[in-house]
């Protein structure tokens, strides 16, 4: 574990980590394009909200 401390902003030039969250949504039955877009928007909004609150 590193023992040196860093002030806020000291890491601004450091590369930021990239996270990948594989998400799979299975739709049973048929949905039109508009409903599929609504489902995708809902899923990504929920993911974004969850990650933002943990941050």
Residues 1-55: tens digit of each pLDDT: 445 555 555 666 778 777 777 888 888 999 999 999 999 999 989 988 988 887 6
pTM above 0.85, yes or no: no
- The helix/strand/coil state of 26 is coil
Quote the tokens at residue 13: 């030039």
Question: What is the residue-wise DSSP string for the chain?
Answer: -------TTTTTTSPPP--------PPPS---HHHHHHHHHHHHHHHHHHHHHH-
């Amino acid at each position: 574990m590193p023992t040196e401390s860093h002030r806020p902003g000291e890491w601004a030039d450091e590369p930021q980590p990239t996270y990948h969250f594989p998400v799979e949504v299975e739709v049973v039955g048929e949905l039109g394009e508009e409903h599929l877009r609504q489902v995708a928007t809902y899923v990504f909004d929920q993911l974004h909200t969850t990650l933002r609150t943990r941050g």
